[in-house]
Each structure stands twice: as C-alpha cells, then as structure tokens.
Amino acid sequence: MKFATKVIHAGIEPDPSTGAIMTPIFQTSTYVQAAPGAHKGYEYARTQNPTRSVLEKNLAALENGTDAICFASGLAAQDAVMKLLKSGDEVLAVNDLYGGSYRQMVRVWGQWGLKSRFVDMYDASKVEREISPDTKLLWLETPTNPMLNIVDIEAVCAVAKRRGILVCVDNTFASPYLQNPLDLGADIVLHSATKYIGGHSDVVHGCLVVKDASLAERLHFLQNASGAVPGPQDCFLILRGIKTLHLRVQRACENAAVIAEYLAAHPKVGKVYWPGFHDHRNHDIARRQMRMFGAMVSFDLKDNTVENATKVLRGTHLFSLAESLGGVESLIGHPASMTHASIPREERLKVGLTDSLIRLSVGVEDADDLVADLEGALGGGNCQNLALEQDSF
C-alpha cells in the first residue's frame, strides 16, 4: 500500500459487531471474561483497548514499522524510551531539540544518574567522535526545533550500528508523510501526535514505532507498567486526524515554501531558516531523506531586538501567537520565551536561538492570505492590497 492508502486503510476494518466504518470509541476500563482467563484478548484497558489497538496498527504502517506503542503525550513516549536505560548510561542528543525533551533528560532523568549530553549533529563523523563508552542512546530530532537544521539520519544510524547504540528519532517536525527514520536505520521513531499526526490542535498524544520484536516487547511492558496510556476518545481523534495527514502536510509544505521565499526577500527580515533553501547547510540531505521540506519556518529580524520581534508577534491576525505546531491553522511563536524557555539562555545562543527568533508553524490556509498577514505585521509597506481586507472567500 502507498502512503495515501495507508492513512485511510492500514489496520482499519469495519467494526465486526455492527459494520461501523469508523473505529468505535471503546470507552471501557475492563472486559468481561467467560471463565477465568478465557477472554477475547482484552482484560484491562491500561493494557489493551481496541480503539488504541487500531491506532497502533495504523501508526506502525505509516512508519514502516512492526509495532507502535501509544502514550498520553509525546513526553510520556520519551519517558518510556528513557526507561530502556539505566543509571550511569548516557544519552547523546542533538543540541537543538524540543525544550520539553531537554527538560526531561536533564531535570528528571539527571536525578536518577542518567547522563545527557547535547551535541551538534550536523556532521555524522563529529557524532562518532562524541560517543563515549557510556553512550547507550542517540537522540535525534530532524528538522531540529527551532533552527531547522537537518541531521543525516542514515549516516548517524550507521555510526550507532557499528557500536551497538540505540537510535531514537523524534520525527514530530517531519511527520511520517515526509520522512521515515526506520527505513534509514533508526531503532525507534517518536512522535508527538499532538502535532501533525493529530493535526487539529484538539488532542495531546504520543507514540513510538519500532521494527524489532524484542524492543517492541520491552516498550509494551513499559507502557503497561508505567501506565501513561491515552484514552480511547483521544485515540479516536488521532485516527480521525490521520486520514488527511498527507493532504494537510503537503499543503502546509507548499504554503511554507511560499512564505520562506517571501520572508527571504523582505527588507526587514534577517536570516530565514528553512531546509528548502539551496544554501541551507544540509539542503542535500533534506532533499534525500524528506519528501518535502516541512512546514516550519524560523526567522530573525535585521533589527534584531526583542521589541521588534514582539511587534511582529503581536501584529499577525491569521497566525495565532501560541505554542505547539502542526495543526491546520498557522501559529507564530517566540521560542526564547515560549517553547524553549526551559533551555538556559547560553545554551540557546550557542545554537543561534536569539531572543528575537520567530518560529512559524505554517497551516493549510490560503498562501496569499498568510503572506498578507505577515506583511501587515512586518510593516513592510510593499504589499498593495492586503488580501485580508478583501472579501476573497
């Protein structure tokens, strides 16, 4: 099955008891047994739930894995991966990553003797030099957040494989439509399904996808033993969102390309970060490992003050000022005070995350309207007729 067919059909069958074409929400905590131990594969809803099982089958197919394991959030999924390690082990993570992932590694797992180190993964050979005898897990995010650097998944996985180190790729920014890390050698793919997979900003959810039976078994054990499972209603919403994943991400990427080009040509805009630019430092790798270049765009202002950034952040109408990403609606954010506030300022500045960096999650609205909205906020003055003021629907 090709991707567009998988999102609709993989793992999804009409409900056998009624023929309902949509997977029912099995809102139950337990299942009746005919005799002790004689059940239909479901005993208790932390361990198994039919709505969740369907979603897990579908997600496994989207990432070309054998098993998916769902959690109440992306960070709960990360929590399970970290529990594969033990005290004294080290995680080597990309140095430009989701603030909450950093916070969990340093402030939660650090207390339990699990070490985390953050390095630039622009160059796979540099990653090899950074590996220590304690390194047991490589943690990749690509495109990175919010600088939109690209890590060469295949090259880094080859390094890890030679040394028997596990690789987890947080694929949230790309979504399974754009990039499939298991195909490139990764052991675990993580998604905050809150973002593109759910796609409608109405649910918090996370998942892991693997292709190795023993790893799947350990993660299923942790899912059940630690218990951060998603409820059936949330699984239903994610299943519903997935059906249009390919359409949404494709349109959002097309819009992002228009916006990135517009920003790059704007006299008030400084550097624009988007992997689709030919002069992006890992553009060729992005071209090789992604289907399109993603719908996240970050940029700085030439007059690089917090005050100027704040004017832009307060000046948009279609782009809503909010954390998160990957929904149908466009969002604008200020990483230094929002998504990345939990990362110390010195660490932020090292990766180029200045106090005035602005991050866009481009949605699936009309590209002209989005450009006009930014034009209004930037005050460029070279946009003749703001589409927003026209009745152009």
* 278 token code pair: 């030919």
CA–CA dist 227, 387 (Å, integer): 49
CB of 38 to ligand PLP, least distance (A): 37
Q: Which residue among the candidates 67, 79, 152, 170 is catalytic per the annotation?
A: 170
Asked if 209 and 360 touch (Cβ cutoff 8 Å), the reply is no
Question: Is 177 an annotated catalytic residue?
Answer: no
Q: Measuring CA to CA, which residue among 347, 346, 344, 348 is closest to residue 359?
A: 348
Residue 368 is given by DSSP the state H
192 touches ligand PLP by CB under 6 A: yes
CB of 282 to ligand PLP, least distance (A): 18
Site string for ligand PLP, 124-163 (x = CB under 6 A): -----------------x---x------------------
CA–CA dist 135, 151 (Å, integer): 18
DSSP 49-70: -HHHHHHHHHHHHHTT-SEEEE
Q: Which residue among the candidates 195, 291, 348, 359 is catalytic per the annotation?
A: 195
170 touches ligand PLP by CB under 6 A: yes
65 touches ligand PLP by CB under 6 A: no
From residue 32, alpha-carbon distances to 27, 151, 171, 257, 356 in Å are: 14, 49, 38, 53, 57
Pick the binder of ligand PLP from 75, 85, 105, 360 (CB under 6 A).
75
Residue nearest ligand PLP (C-beta atom): 74
* 69 token code pair: 């394991």
First to last CA, the chain: 36
Question: Is 366 an annotated catalytic residue?
Answer: no
Asked if 22 and 196 touch (Cβ cutoff 8 Å), the reply is no
CA–CA dist 374, 369 (Å, integer): 9
195 touches ligand PLP by CB under 6 A: yes
Q: Which is nearer to ligand PLP, 195 or 280 (CB)?
A: 195
Pick the binder of ligand PLP from 24, 100, 270, 352 (CB under 6 A).
100
Our measurement of the distance from residue 279's CA atom to the centroid of its chain's CA atoms, rounded to an integer in Å, reads: 24
Question: Tokens 């005070």 correspond to what residue?
Answer: 337
74 touches ligand PLP by CB under 6 A: yes
Q: Which is nearer to ligand PLP, 297 or 378 (CB)?
A: 297
Q: Which is nearer to ligand PLP, 77 or 371 (CB)?
A: 77
Q: Which is nearer to ligand PLP, 76 or 157 (CB)?
A: 76
Question: Is 288 an annotated catalytic residue?
Answer: no
Pick the binder of ligand PLP from 26, 98, 177, 196 (CB under 6 A).
98
Sequence-distant (≥ 6) Cβ neighbours of residue 105 within 8 angstroms:
82, 91, 93, 114, 116, 139
Asked if 98 and 142 touch (Cβ cutoff 8 Å), the reply is no
Residues that bind ligand PLP (rule: CB under 6 A) add up to a total of: 16
Q: Which residue among the candidates 15, 31, 42, 46 is catalytic per the annotation?
A: 46
206 touches ligand PLP by CB under 6 A: yes
Question: Is 195 an annotated catalytic residue?
Answer: yes
Q: Measuring CA to CA, which residue among 329, 298, 291 is closest to residue 313?
A: 298
Q: Which is nearer to ligand PLP, 73 or 298 (CB)?
A: 73
For the annotated catalytic residues, the residue numbers are 46, 98, 170, 195
Binding site for ligand PLP (CB under 6 A): 73-75, 98, 100-101, 141, 145, 170, 172-173, 192, 194-195, 204, 206
